[in-house]
Amino acid sequence: MPKVCRWMRWKPLLCYAKHPQCCCWSSRAGHVTQTLHILQCLAVPTEHVVRCAAQYSGRTTMRPVNRIAILPLFLTAVSAASTLFKGGTVIAFNKQTQGLQVIRDGAVLVEDDRITGVFDSTPTRVPPRTEVVDITGKIITPGFIDTHRHGWQTVFKTMASNTSLLEFFGRYSSFVAPFFWNATDIYDSQLAGLYEALNAGVTTSLDHATHTWSKDAADAGLQACIDSGARVFWGFTFANITGLITVEQLYPVFRTMAAKPGLRNSPTTLGIAYDGWGPNPNVGEIDKIMALARELKVSVITTHSLQGPWGYIHALNYLNISIPIVFSHASFLTPTGASLLRSTNQYISITPESEMHYGQTHPVAYSIQDQASLGIDTHITFSTDILTQARIWLQQARYERYLDVLEQGQLPASNPMSVEQAFLLATRNGALALRRGDDLGGIFVGGKADLVIWDGNSPAMLGWVDPVAAVILHASVGDIEAVLVDGKWVKRGGKLVARGWPDARARFLRTARRLQAVWKGMPLPEAPPEFNGSPVVHPERVDVLRGPGDGYGSVYL
């Protein structure tokens, strides 16, 4: 009978938080520890951690990241200096009305990276050598904007399908991966994840990049963003990881990222991700990070939040600043918090599927949708497309608002949320959250040419009358025929056309299979009795079987 570590049995998550790659969690051969081991675990954490990680990974020495430099693949997307899309239905954005404008049999002219014309009929004069693309019967929309993502984790796809949030932290987060991943792994995983997003019409992502645990690791993820051709607001994460790196050590790494060749000529920009705002903030650390943010003119700051650190940030005079701050989830936003966000024009990122999957929930987010955008979060556990998020959120918001009426013994006379509102959340509001409403999130003259073309004759969309409803309620990623970012084709004819995609796919599969094999060997963690002062309990399971058993089944790794 295997000996089971008491620490593991009772406090796995807390143990994990201190010693993320402790063999209590990761021993393939079973739970090995006993009293002596527990004492080691507690008393000499760093040595224990190093030994366990080396033992588990079969390495004789610890090697958190590979020092092999990432060679940029220069996966340049196919470019066209000037393109006219004619004959299609354009879902444009009208800046005067701040609403959508549907133009049937319209046209969109793209020159270099910009939309230079939106027409209600095919123009007779276009620039010389313009490529004319007939999109009759199709729908052209802006690309979707995802304001919360952890793109580097793509190799874990389908492995965490039934996890809780605590299990996720303990098994798939940046507290575990550094001891098994090298820089090349991050590059391959991040790049494949971005291609997945581009294929799904997500042209802009705010990436809360938690893989910045070393210079090589950070550089690899950023290089993948640049090579992908996607528009990534790359949020370099400042976080202490026990036994690996401190925030203090990350300051020079961040400066290196800001000076990275290739960043200047890419749609990708440098941002900051930081979760240490409160309730016991390290003010000196925050001041240093914010000084860096201002000096290096970062494009965005982002943070996870449930109960809301905006009060702490505001108290430090960092909420009302020119840099956008995006708060992911904000599940339990208070009226005071909502007021602060509105008065400082800072946005939340609602991640509908994530908040349902993991249980952060979103009980009050309906009331601040005017200051909200949509995000995905951990795309390894569910859909990577903002279209699905918009659809789920639309119906969830309707459900909640209907419930308000039904609970009063009344009946709803109208529908509380429209498909246009869902469309705006998925496009325009993302741009506003990033303070890029002048050039992102819509089809209008002067905007960036981030575009999606939908096959209006697919079985799902055939017969549409309202193009907004056709996209939001009937289409799927399979109906996306083409995608452009910055005026460059990244998907065309239903397929990714980036020159490096076939090679990236092969590399990713090799990397994924190797790392997945490691994770398959890890025992699933047990829940701790409490976490951060709250009891941890199992929710009642759903029962889908008649009679005995509930049909819960397993994960099939």
- In angstroms, the CA 23 to CA 48 distance is 9
CB of 349 to Zn ion, least distance (A): 9
Nearer residue to Zn ion within complex by CB, 152 or 318: 152
Nearer residue to Zn ion within complex by CB, 53 or 326: 326
Nearer residue to Zn ion within complex by CB, 207 or 479: 207
For position 207 contacting Zn ion by CB under 5 A, the verdict is no
CB of 303 to Zn ion, least distance (A): 10
Q: Is the peptide bond before 279 cis (omega within 30 degrees of 0)?
A: yes
Nearer residue to Zn ion within complex by CB, 227 or 385: 385
Residue 199 contacts residue 496 (beta carbons within 8 Å): yes
CB of 377 to Zn ion, least distance (A): 5
Kindly give, in sequence order, each residue whose CB lies less than 8 Å from that of residue 95, ignoring residues fewer than 6 positions away.
Answer: 444
Q: How many residues bind Zn ion (CB under 5 A)?
A: 1
Query: For residue 114, with 0-12 CB atoms within 10 Å meaning exposed, 13-18 middle and 19 or more buried, which class applies?
Result: middle
Nearer residue to Zn ion within complex by CB, 152 or 454: 152
- In angstroms, the CA 164 to CA 170 distance is 10
- In angstroms, the CA 108 to CA 88 distance is 9
- In angstroms, the CA 206 to CA 231 distance is 9
Distance set, CA 388 to CA 379, 382, 394, 502 (Å):
12, 10, 10, 26
CA 302 to chain centre: 11
- Contacts (CB under 5 A) with Zn ion, residues 416-445: none
CB of 353 to Zn ion, least distance (A): 12
Nearer residue to Zn ion within complex by CB, 188 or 355: 355
Q: What is the dihedral of CA 47, 49, 51, 55, to 10 degrees?
A: 180
- In angstroms, the CA 156 to CA 159 distance is 6
CB of 216 to Zn ion, least distance (A): 23
CB of 357 to Zn ion, least distance (A): 12
Q: For residue 222, what are its two tokens?
A: 């950023």
| 134-172: b (≥16 Cβ within 10 Å) or e | ebeebbbbbbbbbbbbbbbbbbbbebbeebbebbbbbbb
Nearer residue to Zn ion within complex by CB, 377 or 455: 377
- In angstroms, the CA 273 to CA 301 distance is 6
- In angstroms, the CA 223 to CA 70 distance is 8
- Contacts (CB under 5 A) with Zn ion, residues 338-377: 377
Distance set, CA 342 to CA 368, 370, 425 (Å):
9, 9, 16
Q: For residue 201, what are its two tokens?
A: 């019409």
CB of 235 to Zn ion, least distance (A): 10
Angle between helices 45-57 and 35-43 (to 10 degrees): 120
- In angstroms, the CA 476 to CA 29 distance is 43
Nearer residue to Zn ion within complex by CB, 70 or 434: 434
Nearer residue to Zn ion within complex by CB, 380 or 422: 380
Q: For residue 318, what are its two tokens?
A: 């960092």
**Partners of 326 in beta bridges:** 302, 347
Residue 180 contacts residue 28 (beta carbons within 8 Å): no
Nearer residue to Zn ion within complex by CB, 4 or 17: 17
Kindly give, in sequence order, each residue whose CB lies less than 8 Å from that of residue 452, ignoring residues fewer than 6 positions away.
Answer: 140, 141, 142, 143, 144, 201, 203, 480, 482, 483
CB of 182 to Zn ion, least distance (A): 23
Tokens 């979060």 — which residue? 377
CB of 149 to Zn ion, least distance (A): 8
CB of 304 to Zn ion, least distance (A): 5
Nearer residue to Zn ion within complex by CB, 169 or 312: 169
- In angstroms, the CA 221 to CA 212 distance is 8
User: Which residue number is nearest to Zn ion in terms of Cβ?
Assistant: 377
CB of 49 to Zn ion, least distance (A): 24
- Binding to Zn ion by CB under 5 A, coded x per residue (else -) over 375-414, reads --x-------------------------------------
CB of 302 to Zn ion, least distance (A): 9
- In angstroms, the CA 308 to CA 255 distance is 29
Nearer residue to Zn ion within complex by CB, 430 or 442: 430
CB of 144 to Zn ion, least distance (A): 18
Nearer residue to Zn ion within complex by CB, 89 or 331: 331
Nearer residue to Zn ion within complex by CB, 207 or 377: 377
CB of 3 to Zn ion, least distance (A): 36
Q: Which residues bind Zn ion (CB under 5 A)?
A: 377
